[in-house]
Structure 1
Amino acid sequence: MTNTAVRKVGPVAVTGTPTVGGHVRNYLSRVRGGDIGALPAVLGLAVLCTVFSIMRPSFLSAQNFANLFTQGAAVTLIAMGLVFVLLLGEIDLSAGFASGVCAAVLANIVTKAGWPWYVAVLAAIATGLVIGLTLGFLVAKIGIPSFVVTLAAFLAFQGIVLLLISGGSNISVRDEVLVAIANRNLTPVLGWLLVAVVVGGYAAVQLLRHRKRTARGLVTDPFPVVLARIGGLAVILGVAVYILNLERSRNVLISSLKGVPIVVPIIAVLLIFWTFVLQRTSYGRHVYAVGGNREAARRAGINVDRIRISVFVICSTMAAIGGIVAASRANSVDPNTGGSNVLLYAVGAAVIGGTSLFGGKGRVLDAVLGGAVVAVIDNGMGLMGYEAGVKYVVTGVVLLLAASVDAFSRRRAAATGTR
């Protein structure tokens, strides 16, 4: 006798493991009901890459492919933190300049004070943590709207950056370890090892989850679908590492340039960690609960204030890491570090990826997908020779479309009773 749960939905019996066709139909039904997830971001990314590849073949070169990762790394990291704040229906307008403050602290400690790089990194992250605690306390305990608090911090942090770097000057960052974060690469062998670890770990998690749910008679995805996910990830990562392992140096006799940028595994580790926190811990469930209905979460015994404070701590801490990466890429910190379009791109990345501005819906992966879209737009239009104004207009239009899709999907979900 097989241990397969059977439940009745109208006249149709649904077993614990649906067929592949049933799985596809269920997915299409969810999409029609408004649960589109990151589908628009994935489709948009595919369209953008296709268009830019046709119009500028150099877009597909190994050198430009590597540039996409380093160009979008800082924004992606900041966006990953913003996802937590957006899940609660809050906003953090200070995340960009918070990263600049943390980068300035890093540069002062490692360059002016001459302390080791790890002390500087810990100090920068600690600064981000303190910033998050302060913002979260003002929002959760004092009751000031997050828009007002973070707007005030946005203005104040600009001044703090100027004070930390002595006005309009800049501070060079020459420590080899810090510079390597955004400017050096893994060896080709380490790149393939990284693929093996990631794919192996993902496969183990997926297969174990499928086995447990099947054994308990719970509804689970068909086994071929699970295998297709594992195979799809292996193909995507394999192609990416193959391209990145190609020689990118214009003069191999002087120096060789190939391999996965070091910042990529940093983003991957943080993506896996924060995804686990949101999807596999009680804290993550509490974040979604507070974002979905704050009063209901409070009545369920969740410490809402603590959750609200914690998301600002996570956001500012991730902003600190983004600031470290930005300082590494530029080899310096100046008054524009964390300013200009950093915040707008980071918020745009989270929303474009599929995180809702209304709270309660989103994943850390959304920030990575949205960050890729923003980086592709910026990079592709730069290759085509468009000026900054045109890039901003196009990015703004894409962000508006993403917000419109989010609003439409919420209305659709409410109308079909799926939310």
Structure 2
Amino acid sequence: MNEPSATTIARELEDQTVREQQDLRGLLAGTWGRIRSGDLGALPVLAGLLIIAVIFQSLNSNFLSPANLVNLLLQSAAVGVIALGIVCVLLVGQIDLSVGSVSGLAAACFATLFVKQGWPLVFAVVGAVAVGAAIGWVYGQVFNRFGVPSFVITLGGLLGFLGLQLFVLGPSGTINLPYDSWLVQFGQLDFVPAWLSYVLVVAASGGYFVSQWLLARERRRRRLIAKSVQVMTVQAVVLLVALLFAVWYLNQSRGVGWMFVFFVALVLVMNYALTRTSWGRHVFAVGGSVEAARRAGINVRRIYTSVFVICSTLAAVGGLLAAGRIAAASQSSGTGDVNLNAIAAAVIGGTSLFGGRGSAFSALLGILVIQSISSGLILLNLSSSLRFMVTGAVLVLAVMVDSLSRRSRTEHGRG
């Protein structure tokens, strides 16, 4: 039996996309078609979160309690921000193994400048974040000019910046932050007022609808396929209902922490940059094929430098959030499982290790999976060794799903 030609496959995909954008029946059919062809999107992660919730809730009824979920979200923010930077690096097919050390160094620099040197908090924050950005720039220069693999560069950075962190902290090894400082308050005690949380949810849903409508209008102007108003309305309403319920449930306890809101805001900004700007298109192009991107006129070196700078900068920001969360910078800041969790979150959330596929929301979904596993095991009074084993197994499973999805997409002409 003859295999369908590339033209036939392309025509079928285009017809399917047209049906999908017209009405709800087409949307459901198109979604099912993408799943069958291996384009799973966030489905494996959402299914994993559901399974985790069911298992741990059946073993401990406190897992889905509002108080535990509030803590879970707060614990997710710092490493989630670091994972967001990892997503950018993975999209171009590279890796950064030093994000934990960079986050710890940034925390140490901030604590030294703020507590020991007496700098104003804003200047101390800017200085610590600038250290992270400078590290990323150095990575980019070494990678572009000397061709040293990013694995080797950042592995050296992991060791070197860990030593520099210990040097900055000094003999004491720990610098406590004042409990009345803004960063500590932000990390531990600042929550969104209930009424404002509902306003933000409505604004987010409305913003989603407006952005989709503007995108559809622009696509129609260019005579391209675009979503119908019916489809956009249903998606916005579903998003609104889901977010309203989540916020209402969290408000039964302390509510939504500002630190988690900050993390989500960074995810939205990065998602816009990756999907609606020329820089984002260039990132995906480089991740898909470096040579093709170079021949298309893309400044590949600049793209590599930009993602390294963003990754290290976000690592520094995550280190500051972690320091505010525990009100201290110490020798253990950025060590332990920070690297593991940040990289695993990006991959588990759906970012491909092969480059060219993923989204900013991968960091959000992935860190929720990891933090849910950690929270559930803590509630069951199980050892941290089991948490490492479970997280490692989930990471391997995520890579296997990605590999199988790539193979299926290629076979169906979606590669």
The Cα offsets for residues 225-283 of structure 1, whole Å up to 9 and x where unpaired, read as 322221222122212221222245xxxxxxxxxx3211122112211111111000000
Taking the TM superposition and a 5 Å limit, the aligned residue runs for 1:139-150 are: 139-150=143-154
- 1:51 maps to 2:55: yes
Q: CA deviation at 1:75?
A: 1.1
Taking the TM superposition and a 5 Å limit, the aligned residue runs for 1:162-177 are: 162-167=166-171, 169-174=173-178, 175-177=180-182
Contact persistence 2:20–2:26 (CA under 8 A): no
| The one of 90, 94, 101 aligned to 2:94 | 90
> Cα distance 1:211–1:302, how it changes in 2: closer, same or farther (>3 A)?
closer
> Cα distance 1:417–1:13, how it changes in 2: closer, same or farther (>3 A)?
closer
> Cα distance 1:179–1:295, how it changes in 2: closer, same or farther (>3 A)?
same
Number of the residue aligned with 2:75: 71
Number of the residue aligned with 1:180: 185
Number of the residue aligned with 1:121: 125
Read off the aligned partner of 2:83 and give its amino acid letter. A
| The one of 379, 382, 385 aligned to 2:381 | 385
CA distance in 1, matches of 2:241, 2:145: 48
Number of the residue aligned with 2:4: none
Number of the residue aligned with 1:236: 242
> Cα distance 1:289–1:197, how it changes in 2: closer, same or farther (>3 A)?
same
| The one of 222, 226, 229 aligned to 1:223 | 229
Contact persistence 1:181–1:262 (CA under 8 A): yes
Read off the aligned partner of 2:25 and give its amino acid letter. G
Contact persistence 1:16–1:218 (CA under 8 A): no
Number of the residue aligned with 1:286: 282
Read off the aligned partner of 1:151 and give its amino acid letter. L
The Cα offsets for residues 102-150 of structure 1, whole Å up to 9 and x where unpaired, read as 1111111111111111111111111110010011111122110000000
CA distance in 2, matches of 1:379, 1:11: 45
Read off the aligned partner of 2:67 and give its amino acid letter. Q
CA distance in 1, matches of 2:233, 2:370: 30
Contact persistence 1:168–1:335 (CA under 8 A): no
Q: CA deviation at 1:191?
A: 1.8
CA distance in 1, matches of 2:22, 2:221: 15
- 1:346 maps to 2:351: no
Contact persistence 1:8–1:14 (CA under 8 A): no
- Number of residue pairs the alignment of both structures matches: 403
Contact persistence 1:178–1:328 (CA under 8 A): yes
- 1:298 maps to 2:294: yes
> Cα distance 1:325–1:19, how it changes in 2: closer, same or farther (>3 A)?
same
Q: Give the secondary structure class of the aligned counterpart of 1:86.
A: helix
CA distance in 2, matches of 1:378, 1:13: 40
Taking the TM superposition and a 5 Å limit, the aligned residue runs for 1:366-377 are: 366-377=362-373
Taking the TM superposition and a 5 Å limit, the aligned residue runs for 1:262-281 are: 262-281=258-277
- 1:209 maps to 2:215: yes
CA distance in 1, matches of 2:306, 2:287: 13
The Cα offsets for residues 164-197 of structure 1, whole Å up to 9 and x where unpaired, read as 1114520011152111221121222222222222
Range 181-190 or range 405-414, more displaced: 181-190
Taking the TM superposition and a 5 Å limit, the aligned residue runs for 1:406-417 are: 406-417=402-413
> Cα distance 1:243–1:297, how it changes in 2: closer, same or farther (>3 A)?
same
CA distance in 2, matches of 1:214, 1:163: 58
> Cα distance 1:176–1:244, how it changes in 2: closer, same or farther (>3 A)?
farther
Q: CA deviation at 1:390?
A: 0.6
Normalization by structure 1: what TM-score?
Answer: 0.92
> Cα distance 1:223–1:108, how it changes in 2: closer, same or farther (>3 A)?
same
The Cα offsets for residues 31-67 of structure 1, whole Å up to 9 and x where unpaired, read as 2222112211111011111221222111122211110
Range 147-156 or range 210-219, more displaced: 210-219
CA distance in 2, matches of 1:225, 1:374: 32
Read off the aligned partner of 1:380 and give its amino acid letter. G
Number of the residue aligned with 1:40: 44
Number of the residue aligned with 2:6: none
| The one of 26, 38, 58 aligned to 2:30 | 26
Read off the aligned partner of 1:189 and give its amino acid letter. W
Normalization by structure 2: what TM-score?
Answer: 0.93
- 1:321 maps to 2:321: no
> Cα distance 1:11–1:87, how it changes in 2: closer, same or farther (>3 A)?
closer
CA distance in 1, matches of 2:382, 2:127: 39
Q: CA deviation at 1:11?
A: 9.9
> Cα distance 1:312–1:9, how it changes in 2: closer, same or farther (>3 A)?
closer
Read off the aligned partner of 1:131 and give its amino acid letter. I
- 1:357 maps to 2:363: no
Q: Give the secondary structure class of the aligned counterpart of 2:62.
A: helix
Range 128-137 or range 262-271, more displaced: 262-271
Read off the aligned partner of 1:202 and give its amino acid letter. Y
Contact persistence 2:176–2:329 (CA under 8 A): yes
> Cα distance 1:340–1:15, how it changes in 2: closer, same or farther (>3 A)?
closer
Contact persistence 1:346–1:371 (CA under 8 A): yes
Q: Percent identity?
A: 42
CA distance in 1, matches of 2:383, 2:373: 12
Number of the residue aligned with 1:253: none
Q: Which runs of 5+ in 2 are unaligned?
A: 1-10
Range 280-289 or range 163-172, more displaced: 163-172
CA distance in 2, matches of 1:8, 1:358: 27
CA distance in 1, matches of 2:238, 2:155: 42
Q: Give the secondary structure class of the aligned counterpart of 1:137.
A: helix
